[in-house]
């Protein structure tokens, strides 16, 4: 299955071009918005050529927080992994307690030797 194309709204494109006009570099804006620099350059040319009719298509609103959504998913995944590892650690500690008859200390003792 191939990747689906992203569709940007007129507002998004105009905002991107305005960032370029404000003096920010093409590469910086492209990385920040996660779009190809060539696309940004094309948007800039289209808007310059015909400001009123540029981007007249029916673009879909981008998920405003696609990066935020991705980070929330990552946080959720990591939270689940942490919970799993905590449960696993508790079961190992319980097993150790059953084997040794006492609770394991959480600090390590360090032997000091005289020189």
Residues 4 and 51 reside in one and the same domain = yes
pLDDT tens track for 50-67: 887 787 765 545 555 567
Q: Are residues 51 and 15 in the same domain?
A: yes
Domain that holds residue 97: 65-101
Q: How far apart are the first and last CA of the chain?
A: 68
Does one domain contain both 36 and 85? no
Q: 46: buried, middle or exposed (CB in 10 Å: 19+, 13-18, 0-12)?
A: middle
pLDDT number for residue 84: 94
On whether the pTM is more than 0.75, the answer is no
Q: Are residues 55 and 1 in the same domain?
A: yes
Query: Are residues 48 and 91 part of one domain?
Result: no
Same domain, 39 and 85: no
pLDDT surpassing 70 at residue 91: yes
- As a whole number, mean pLDDT of residues 65-90 equals 88
Task: Enter the tokens of residue 89.
Answer: 């650690």
On whether residue 115 sits in a domain, the answer given is no
Residues 56 and 83 in one domain: no
- What's the mean pLDDT when you consider all of the chain? 81
Is 54:8 a contact under the CB 8 Å cutoff?
no
Q: How confident is the model at residue 81 (pLDDT cuts 50, 70, 90)?
A: very high
* Enclosing H/E stretch for 38: helix 37-49
């Amino acid at each position: 299955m191939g990747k689906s194309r992203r569709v940007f709204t007129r507002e998004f494109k105009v905002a991107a071009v305005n960032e370029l006009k404000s003096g920010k570099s093409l590469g910086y804006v492209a990385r920040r918005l996660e779009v190809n620099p060539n696309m940004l350059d094309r948007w800039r040319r289209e808007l310059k050529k015909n400001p009123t009719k540029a981007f007249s298509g029916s673009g879909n609103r981008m998920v405003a927080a696609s990066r935020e959504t991705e980070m929330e998913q990552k946080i959720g995944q990591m939270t689940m992994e942490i919970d799993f590892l905590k449960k696993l650690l508790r079961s190992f500690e319980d097993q150790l307690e059953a084997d040794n008859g006492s609770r394991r200390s959480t600090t390590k003792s360090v032997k000091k030797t005289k020189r």
